[in-house]
Structure 1
Amino acid sequence: MEPILAAIVGREHEQEVLSAFVAASEGRSLVLRGDTGVGKSALLDHVADLAAHEKHRVIRAAGVEAESELPFAGLHQFLYPLLSYIDRLDDTHRGVFDVVFGRSEGTPPSVMTLGIAVLDLLSLAASQKPLLLVLDDGQWLDASSIEVCGFVGRRLTGSSVKLAVGLRSDLASGFDTAALPHLPVTTLSEKASEQLLDMHHPGLDPRIRRLVLDEAQGNPLALLELPPYVRGNRSARGSGESFGYNGVALPLRLQHVYGARIEGLGEAVRAELLRGALDGVAAGTTAGAVRGARYRMKDADEAAACGLLDIDPLNGDFVFRHPLVRSTAVQIATPNERRAAHASLARVHRDDVERRAYHLGASTVDPDDEVAAALEAAAESATRRGGAQTAVAWLTRAAELSESHEERSRRLGDAAFIAGHAGRLDQAQQLIGADSTAGRTDSPASVVASAYVALYEDGDVRSSQHQVLAAIESLRDGGGPNEVLTRLVNLLLAINQYAGDATSWERAHGLIDSLGDLVSPHSRIYQDAWGDVVRRGAGVHERVERAFADLGALDPWDISRLSVAAYHVDTLSQYRPHLQRIVDRELETGALVSGMTMLHLIMLDQIAVGEWDEADRTGRRGLELMTSHQHTLFAHHSKAYLGLLAAMRGEVERARELQASVDAWARPRGIGFLTQIADAIGTAAALSEGDYEAAYLHAIGITPPSAFEPYAHQASRTLLDLVEAALHTGRSEQARGHALAAQQAGLPEISPRLALVTYGALAMTATDPAEADRCYDRVENHPAGTRFPFELARIRLAHGIRLRHTQGRKAARPPLTLAAEAFERLGATTWTERARAELRTTGTPAQASTAHLAALTWQERRIADLAAGGLTNKEIGQRMHLSPRTVSSHLYRVFPKLGISSRAALRDALGKLRDEQSV
C-alpha cells in the first residue's frame, strides 16, 4: 500500500534524495538546510511518512528557542519515548542516563560517554524495527544535545537507525561543525511558485498574484500566507500615510521571521535598513516604480552578520537577503520613522526628478505647493516613460498637498485624464467625484472623464459629442490656451472620427476654428487628417513628420494620435518602429488606451506592407485585450479590421461573420467609421469571390461613383475596389469617372498609396493605349509601390490582362507572374487562383513560376532584391525598419531556398528566375 502524502510542489530532487535515504539498508544521517519558510518541515513530514510506510518507528523532536539554554532538553525529547529500553542496558550506560535525566546524582558524563550510551540505546530500540529520528528547528537545540546528536549521527553506519535534521541556514548552530551530510533546500522555481500559489489561492487578481510572487521569491510559506494580507492591504490603502512604499502587509508569522532580528539592531542600523527598504534596494516591488540609482546602505555590517543583508558580488553593496526583510523593516517602523527616512532620501536624490518627488510626497503631511509641483513634474516624466498608472498616483498626491482649491481641482482633473487613458475609467470618474471644489458634475474636467467612458465603453457618440461641445463652448472665452480645452478638442475630434457624420464634422470645424490660437498645432493635424483626408489631407504627412521630430517630448497619447494621422495619409510605416518599441510598455503600466490604438495601427501597417499572418496575430491579441478590459468600441474596431483582412485573404465566411457583428453593433449607435469598414468588408469579400455586382453595390454604399463623399473615411480607400467592380460589371463610364475624380481631387499628392491606386485606376480605365502605358509605368516605377504589395499585385493583374488582349500572351506573362506570386505570398487564395488562371491563358503552366521564389515570404523576397542591388544589411534594415541582425537571419534562410551559398550569387539567381518567368 502506497503512503498517503500531501502534495509537495517543485521538490522532485529533494524527494528523490529522501526516498533513497529511507530505502538505504543501513543507518545514516542527513541535514536539511534552508531559510525560514522554505519548506524544510514539509520535507521532514515527507520523510517521516515514507519511513512509517516502510515499517520504521519514527520519533520526532523539535528545537525550542526558550529551551536552548537547558542542557539535554532536546536529547530528552528523543530519548523519552525509549525509556523502557534503558533498564535493559548494562549498569554503566544505565547510570549515565540516570545522571543526565536527573534520576541520580553524579559527575556529568562526557560527550563521548553519553554518545556511546545513546548509540547502544538506539541500537537496542532498533533491533526489532528500523528507527528514524526526525529533528526540526535543530538550530534551537541546546548545545549539549547538539554535541551528542552530532557524535551519534557520525556513527550510525552499520545500524538500523537514521537521523534527519532540519536547520535554518541564516542562523549559526552547533550542527554547522558536526560534519553531517546535508541537503540544501532552496527556494522554489518561478514555475513551481506559480503552481503552488494557484493551487492554494486560485483566481487571484493578476496584479496581486504578481506582487505575491515578487515578494515571496519562491518561499513557500510566503506564497501560502501572503495573498489574504496583500488583498487587505491594497483595499485598505487610501492617501496620505499610504503614499509611498509601506511594505507588503505581513501576517505575524512572517513578520516574526525577521522582525525580532531587526528590532535587536542598533538605532542607526535600523534607520539605514529602513532607508534602503523605502528606496527599493535589492529589487522587488517599490510603489511607484521609481527609477535611477538606488540608495547605498552603509555601516550595516551588524545587519549582515545576523542574516538580514547580503553583499552584492558585483559591486560590493549591501542588498536585502529576501524581499520579506525589506517589508518587515518598513512594517515595524513607526509612521514618523518612515516619513523621516523618506525626507532623508529626498535629499539624497535631489537631482532625480521622479525619485526626489516620490520621497517628498511620502514625507510630507501638510499641504505644500512646492512638493505638489515636484510631484506634478515627476508625473509628467513618468507618463512619457510609460508609467501612466504611477503618474495617476503622483498627481493624486499632488492634489492632496495643493494649497489652493484651484490647483487641487486642476491636478485631480489631470489625474482623471491620465487614468482614462490608462484604461481605468472608473478611477477617472472617482477622481472627478473627489473634486468637491467644482460644485457640479458637469465641469469641463469631468466631461473629459465621463465622455471617455461613454465613448470607449458604450460607443455612445451622440451623448458624448453633446457633452464635449457644450464644455468647449463654456471654455471658449476663458483666456489663453488651456490643457482641459486641448483635451476636449482632441476628444471631440476622436468622437467625430468615429461618428463619421458630415453635419457633426462641419459643426466641429466651425467651433474649433473659432478658437483660433487656443487650439494646439497637434490638434490641427488631427482635425485635418481624421475627418476628410481627401479635402484636408494635403501636406499632413509633412506636418506629422515635423511633429515626430521631437519624439522625446511627446506623451504616449500624442504618439498614438499622430500615428493615426500618419495612417490616414499612408505614411505609418516610418513610425511603426516607435509603436512597436513602446506598445508593450503602455499595455503593461502606461496609457492602455494609447497602447490599444497602437495595436490597431501596427495591424493596419502589417496589412498594408503584406505581413498578413502577423497582422492576424496582432488583431487577435488586440481583440482579446480590449474585450477583457471592456473597451467595447475598440473590440469592435478590431473585429472590423480582422474582417477586412479575412475578406482580402478569401476567408469569406469568417469575414461576413465579423462584418455582421460589427454592423449590428455600430449602425444603431451611429458609428459611421465602423459601418463604413463593414461595407468595405462586404466589398472586399465580394471581389474575392468574383461577385462584382455585389462588390459594386457595397462600394457605392460608401461613396457614389465620380465623387468622394465628404467625411467618408473609406471613400478613398475603396477607390480601386469601386473602379474594378464597375469595369467588371460593364460600368466603364462610372469607372472612368471615378478614376478622373481621384486625379482631380489631388489624391496622388496626399499619400503614396493613393498615388499608386489613382495611377492604377487611370491605367485600368484609360481608352487611349498610350495613356494606359504611361499610367502603368508610373505604377511600376513609383518608389512606394513595393510598400503596398496587395494593391500593386491587383494593378499588375489588370495590366497583364490588358497586355494579353493588346500585345499578346508573351507580353502578359511578366506582370501576371509577379501578381500571382505576390498574391500567393500574401495568402490571398482567391486572388492567387484568378492570377494563375490568367497565366494559363497565356500558355504558361499553372506552376510555371519558380518554386524557389514562391517559397520566399514577401519580406524575404524584398530583402533578397535589396541585397542583390548591393545594399548592406544596415541599409536594408533602415529601409524595412528591421535590425541588421534580423536582415542577416532572413538572408540565411533565403540562400538555401534559392540554391546558393553566398550573397554574390543573389543577383544571378534572381535574374535567372525572372528570365524563366518571361519565357
Structure 2
Amino acid sequence: MDASLIGREFDLARCADFLAEVSSVGGALVVLGDPGVGKTALLTQAARSAKDAGMSVLRAAGTQYRAEAGYGALRRLLASTPLTGAAHSPALAAALSATGVSTAAPVVNASRDGGRGHESVADAVVSLMVGLGDRRAALLVVDDAQWLDAASADVLAEVARRLPGTGAGMLVAAGAGEESFFNYNGLPLHEVGPLSETASEALLIERFPALAPQVRRRLMADAEGNPLALLELPTALTDSQRTASQVMPRHLPLTQRLLAAFASRIRHLPAVTRYLLLVAALEGGGNLRVVLQAAADRGDLRHWAPAERGGLVRIDESTGRLEFRHPLMRSAVVELSTSEQRRGAHRALAEASVGIPDQRVRHLAQAAVDPDEEVATLLEEAAGRSAARGDGPGAVAGLVRAADLSPRAAARARRLAKAAFLGATLTGNLRDVPQLLDTARQVSPDADSLPAAVATAVHLLNGYGDIDTAHRVLTAAIGAQPRPYDPGDTTLLEALATLVMVCFYGGRAELWEAFDDALAQFTSVPEILKVTRSTFGDPARARPADWARLDAAVDAALNTANPLQVVRVGIAASYVDRLSPLEEPLRRIGYGQRAGDNVLPAIQALVLLCHQAWWAGRWDELPVLADDALTLAEVHHYSLRTWPAKYLLASVHAARGDATAARRLCDQMEQWAGSRRAHTVRLYAAHVRALVALGEGDFETAYRHVTTIAPAGSFPPFVRNALWIFLDTVEAALRSGRRDEALQHIAAARDAGLDHASARLAFLLRGADALLAGGAQDAEPLFEAALSTEGSERWPFDRARLHLCYGERLRRGRTPARAKARGHLERAAEIFTQLGAVPWADRAAKELRACGGPARRSNTTSGPTALTPQQWEIASLAAAGLTNKQIAEKLFLSPRTVSTHLYQVFPKLGITSRAALRDALDSLGRL
C-alpha cells in the first residue's frame, strides 16, 4: 500500500463498499477534501481494486487552468476510450461528435438533436459506459472535479445522477469548499478529513525514520494531518534541520507540489487581499487588531471578503482572532511574496506592536537590512526572555540574528558565543557549538571570553567528558571577571552553574576550591548558588538554614516555566529526598511539548525522575524513563549524561538479581570514567557492585565496595553518594563482623545532622539504631519506632529491608518470637516480590522456611487494593476511552510507561482486556 494511505482504513473501506455497490446496481460517490489530503491516492487505490475485480476503468481529470474549449475534459476521456459501439448508434455518434471526438459512423449535426445539448452527450456517455459493461461493470474515475471545464462538468454531473441501476459507477474527487462547475448536490458524499496524530506520526516514521522527535512534532503541527504536507515538508529541510541541529524557520519552505496545492487559491486574489494575507501570515499570532492596524493604509475588513469566501481564513470579530484555514496556507502566502514586500509588512507590524515588546523586536529584526545595534540589543534581551520561558530554539535564533545585526565585532562575537552556550545547555545542538565559537573567534579574537568559555566547557563536558580541561577553561574565564562579582550577572551565574556540574562529575574535593573562591567574590551570594553549594555540593555539611533555602527553592520551582531553574533545583534536591513535589514539572520538561526543544533539561528531568522512581519503588517505570533519557542523550551526543541513567538502570538490575547486566554496566562505567578522571561515575559502579553483593549475601565484598565510596565512620567532603549508601554501609559492616565500624558510621551520620536532612535519612537512622541494638528487648522498640515512621511506605525497598532485618532478629532471639517474625518476614517478602527484587525475596523466603512451614501466599500483589494512585488514574483515563498516547500527554508520561502500568493493572483487576476496564472500575465505584 502507498505510504500516503497510512491511517486511511475508514476511507478505503468506504471506497470498497462503493465498488461493491457498483458491481451490483451501479451509482456514484463524490469524495471531498482539502488539497493534499489524499483524494488522488484513494482514487488510485480504488481504480486498482476495481481492475483487480475485473471492472473496466475509465479516467478523467480537470486541469487547474480551465482555459480550454468546451468538453475539454470529456474529450480527453473519450479519446482514450474504445468507441467501436458508437458506430452502431447514429444518435450516440452524433452526441460524441459534439465533443469533438470522431467516430466511425457518419457525423450527425448536434443541432438537430432537438436542442437537448448536454443531455444528449450525457445520454451518450451513459450508453457508452453501459456498453463497456456488457460483460463486466464499468467505473469512471474523475479526479480534480473542481477544475473541470463547464461543459464537461455539466455532462459528468448529469451522468453521475443517471448511473444508479445501470451497473456502472462514477467515483469523483473534488476540493472541499472550492468554486466548481461540477454540481454534486444530491450525490452521495464522503469527506476525507485530516489524518489522526497517530497516523501522521506513523507516516513520518515510515518515510523519514531519521527525523529528530522535535522536528517530527513540528512537521505534524504544521501539516495538521495533511498527507501531502507530511510527505513533502521533510524534503524541503536541510540535513541539519531534519536532525534538529539547526533551528527550523518560522515559516517552513514549501516544495513545488505543496506550493501548487496551497497557492492556487491565493494567486487570483486582489492585490490588496494578498497584502492583508501577508501581514496576517507574518504576524503569526492571529491578533486581528494588530493585523488591521499594520495594514490600515492598504485595506480594511471589507478587503478580507475574497479570502474568506475562498476558505483561506476565518475571522471572528467578536474575539478579535484571525485564523488561516491551514498552517501551510500561511506558508504559501509568504512563499508567493517578495523580500521587499515581507520587509515592508514587518515594518508595519513593528509599528503596530509597540505594546508587545517581543513581537515588536522580532518584526524589527526581520525588517532590518543593515546592522543596527539598537535592534540587536532588543533582540538579545528578548532571547533571554525566550530562554527563561523554555523556548530554547527561539532564544538561539534570536541571538544569532542579533549577532548578524551587530555593528561592532566584539558584540557580534559575544552574541554568537551566547548562542553557542544556549545551544549546548538548552536546545541540544552540541554539534553546532564549535562552528559558532569558531565564527565568534574569527569575528573578534579579543572579545569578552566568558560566554565562549562557558559554551566551550559545556561542549567539552557533555560531549567528551573532558572534565579537567572544562574546569581549566571555566575557572580561568571566571577568574578574569571584574571584582566584586555582580549577583545579577546572568552570564556569570550560568558559568558557575556549569562549574558545579564539572565539579560534580569530577567528584574530587580540589575541583570545588575554585567554586568557593568565586562565591567569595560576590557582593551578595545568589540564593541558588548557596543552595547548590550546600545541599548538592556537600550535603553532609549542610545546616538547617540550607535545608530551609532548599525548601523555598523547591516551592519557587513549582511556579516557573524556566526548565533550567526546575532541573537545577531538582538536582540540588536529589540527594536529600525532596524530588517528590517536583515530579509534575519534571515530567512536563521530560515529556511535554517543549521536551524536544530543550534537550539537556529534558535529559536531566528524565534522570531525576529515575531517581524518584528508584526510591518510590516504581522499578518497572524506571527502565522506560532511563531508556528515554539515554535515547535523547545518545541522539544529541551528550555522552556524559548517559551515565546517571545507566547507573540507576544498573541499580534495578542489581536489586532484581540480574547480576550479569548490572556488572556489564559497571564495567562500562569504570572503563569510561578512568581516563577522564570522572570519579563520580566510578562511584556509581561501586554502589551497583555493592548492591549486587548485598543481594547475594556476600557482605565482605559489599563492604569493600561501599568503603571505596566513603570509609565507614565518615562522610567525606563533596561525596554526596555517601548519603545514598548509608544503610548499605551499616548492614555490610555489621554482617561482615565490623560492628564497631557500623556504630561509627551511625555516629558520623548523626553528627552530620543527616536525620534533619530528610525524612528518609531519619527513617534509615532509626532503622540502623535498631540493627545495632544489643539484645532483642532493646531492638524491638527501635524497629517498631523505625517502621512506624510516618510516610516510610514511600520508600518500599528500604522499608522491606528493615522488615527483613527485624524478622531475622526476632527469629534468632533467645526466645524466638516466631509468629511475630513471620509477620515481618512475610511483609518483606511481599514488598520484595512487588518490586521484583528476586534475591531479596529469596532471602525473606529462606527465613520464613526457617520459621517453620512455607510462606503464606501474599494477597497484596493482586486485587484492586494493590493499585497505586497513578495506576488508578491511568486505568480511569483508559476506561474513558483515551489512548495510551493521550494518557501520556495528559499525565506527562511516556506512552510506554502507560502501557507498562496497564499491563500491571489488568491482572490486579482480574481482567484481560482494555474493553473490560470500565465495567471493572464501575463495579468498584471508581467511575
Q: TM-score, length-normalised on structure 2?
A: 0.81
Name 2:719's counterpart in structure 1.
712
- Cα distance in 2 for partners of 1:113, 1:174 equals 17
How many residues align? The count is 858
Cα 1:236–1:440, aligned 2, differ >3 Å: closer, same or farther?
farther
Residues 1:364 and 2:368 aligned together:
yes
Residues 702 and 403 of structure 1: CA distance in aligned 2, closer, same or farther (over 3 Å): same
Match of 1:488 among 492, 495, 513: 495
Pair 1:329–1:794, CA change in 2 (3 A): same
1:52 and 1:279 map into 2 onto residues whose CA distance is 50
Q: 1:567 to 1:98 in 2, by over 3 A?
A: closer
- Following superposition, the deviation at residue 190 of structure 1 comes to 4.5
Provide the rounded CA distance (Å) in 1 between the counterparts of 2:501 and 2:791.
29
Matched, 1:266 2:265: no
Note the 1:69-108 alignment, pairs <5 A.
70-79=69-78, 88-90=88-90, 107=111
1:494-893 mapped onto 2 (5 Å cutoff) = 494-505=501-512, 507-508=513-514, 511-517=517-523, 519-536=525-542, 539-551=545-557, 552=559, 555-585=562-592, 588-767=595-774, 772=779, 775-776=782-783, 778-783=785-790, 785-804=792-811, 805-806=813-814, 808-809=816-817, 810=819, 812-843=821-852, 845-848=853-856, 851-852=859-860, 860=868
For 1:555 and 1:163, locate their aligned partners in 2 and report how far apart those are by CA, in whole Å.
58
Q: Would the aligned equivalents of 2:531 and 2:549 in 1 still touch at CA under 8 Å?
A: yes
The 8 Å contact of residues 44 and 166 in structure 1, kept in 2 or not, is answered as yes
**Do the aligned partners of 1:139 and 1:174 also contact (CA within 8 Å) in 2?**
yes
Q: Are residues 359 and 21 of structure 1, via their aligned partners in 2, closer, same or farther at CA, if it must alter by over 3 Å?
A: farther
* Match 1:320 to one of 314, 317, 324: 324
**What does residue 435 of structure 2 align with?**
430
Say if 2:467 is the partner of 1:458.
no
CA contact (8 A) 1:496 1:504 kept: yes
Q: Does 1:420 align with 2:424?
A: yes
Letter matched to residue 859 of structure 2: A
**Aligned equivalents of 1:48, 1:313: Cα separation in 2:** 45
Do the aligned partners of 1:269 and 1:299 also contact (CA within 8 Å) in 2?
Answer: yes
Are 2:126 and 2:159, in contact at CA under 8 Å, matched by a contact in 1? no
Q: Which amino acid aligns with 2:805?
A: A
Superposed CA deviations along residues 516-545 of structure 1, whole A, max 9, x for unmatched, are 437533223222233332234554321112
Distance change >3 Å, CA 6–CA 77, structure 1 → 2: farther
1:250-329 equivalences in 2 (<5 Å): 250-280=254-284, 299-310=303-314, 318-329=322-333
Cα separation, 1, equivalents of 2:830 and 2:51: 72
Residues 484 and 522, structure 2, Cα contact 8 Å, conserved in 1: no
Q: How does 1:46-85 map to 2 (within 5 A)?
A: 46=45, 48-49=47-48, 59-64=58-63, 68=67, 70-79=69-78
Shift of 1:688: 0.8
Contact 1:273 1:297 in 2 (8 A): no
Conserved? CA contact 1:541–1:571, under 8 Å: no
1:467 maps onto 2:473 in alignment: yes
CA offset digits 1:590-641 (Å, max 9, x no partner)? 4322222222222112222332222333223322332232221111221112
Give the direction of change, closer, same or farther, for the CA distance of 1:309–1:109 in structure 2 (3 Å limit). farther
Instruction: Give the match for residue 885 of structure 2.
Output: none
Q: Residue by residue, what CA displacement relative to the aligned partner does 1:351-400 show, whole Å, maximum 9, x if unpaired?
A: 44443433333233344444334433433333233221222112222333
Change (3 A) 1:452 1:112: same
Taking the aligned partners of 2:94 and 2:177, their CA distance within structure 1 comes to: 38
Counterpart Cα distance in 1 of 2:727 and 2:841: 18
Q: Secondary structure at 2:323's aligned position in 1?
A: strand
Q: Measure, in 2, the Cα distance between the counterparts of 1:255 and 1:863.
A: 47
Distance across 2 between alignment mates of 1:489 and 1:223: 43
The residue type paired with residue 383 of structure 1 is A
Give the greater-gyration-radius structure (CA): 1
Contact kept in structure 2, 1:387 and 1:589, CA below 8 Å: no
- The code of the aligned residue for 1:485 comes to L
User: Where does structure 2 lack aligned partners over 5 or more consecutive residues?
Assistant: 288-299, 873-890, 893-897, 912-919
Equivalent residue letter for 2:436: L
Q: In structure 1, list runs of 5 or more residues that go unmatched.
A: 284-295, 865-881, 907-919
Percentage of matched positions with identical amino acids = 31
Contact 2:23–2:167 (8 Å) recurs in 1: no
Amino acid at match of 1:434: T
Aligned twin of 1:401: 405
Question: Relative to 1, partners in 2 of residues 1:849 and 1:676: Cα closer, same or farther, differing over 3 Å?
Answer: same
Range with greater deviation from structure 2 (705-714 or 764-773): 764-773
Residues 171, 616 of structure 1: CA spacing in aligned structure 2 closer, same or farther, 3 A cutoff?
closer
Contact conserved, 2:358 with 2:382, CA < 8 A, in 1? yes
CA-to-partner distance for each residue in 1:45-76, whole Å, 9 max, x for gaps? 45555555566655544444666563444444
Partner SS for 1:345: helix
Contact 2:62 2:144 in 1 (8 A): yes
RMSD: 4.4
- Aligned pair partner of 2:234 in 227, 231, 240: 227
8 Å contact 1:610–1:788 — kept in the other structure?
yes
Q: Name the SS for the 2:521 alignment partner.
A: helix
Distance 1:734 1:275, change over 3 A: same
Residues 62, 138 of structure 1: 8 Å contact kept: yes
Question: Contact 1:837 / 1:846 at 8 angstroms: preserved in 2?
Answer: no
Measure the CA separation in 1 of the matches of 2:353 and 2:480: 43
Residue 857 to residue 30, structure 1, CA distance change in 2 (3 Å):
closer
* Contact 2:651-2:662 at 8 Å conserved across structures: yes
1:603–1:615: 8 Å Cα contact kept in structure 2? Answer: yes
For 1:808 and 1:861, the matched residues in 2 are separated by 38
Separation (CA, whole Å) in 1 of partners of 2:597 and 2:621: 24
1:559-590 residue CA offsets vs partner (Å, 9 max, x unmatched): 22222221222333233333233332386244
In the aligned structure 2, how far is the partner of 1:850 from the partner of 1:659?
A: 34
**Cα-to-partner distance string for 1:132-165 (whole Å, 9 max, x where unaligned):** 5554444444434443444444334565655444
Q: Structure 1 residues 670, 344: CA separation in 2 closer, same or farther (over 3 Å shift)?
A: same
Counterpart residue type for residue 70 of structure 1? A
2:695 and 2:245 map into 1 onto residues whose CA distance is: 58
2:212–2:242 CA contact under 8 A, matched in 1: no
What secondary structure is seen at the aligned counterpart in 2 of 1:167? strand
Distance 1:778 1:863, change over 3 A: farther
Cα deviation, residue 277, structure 1: 1.8
Distance 1:623 1:195, change over 3 A: closer
Change (3 A) 1:306 1:726: closer
Whether contact under 8 Å (1:603, 1:618) holds in the other structure is yes
Q: Identify the range of structure 1 (390-399 vs 174-183) with the bigger mean alpha-carbon deviation.
A: 174-183
CA gap of 1:530–1:8, structure 2 versus 1, over 3 A, is: closer
- Pick aligned residue for 1:345 from 349, 358, 372: 349
Which stretch shows the higher mean deviation, 849-858 or 495-504? 849-858
CA contact (8 A) 1:187 1:219 kept: yes
1:532, 1:711 within 8 Å by CA — same for their partners in 2? yes
Q: Residue 175 of structure 1 aligns to a residue in which SS?
A: coil
Report deviation, 1:222: 3.7
Q: TM-score with structure 1 length normalisation?
A: 0.82
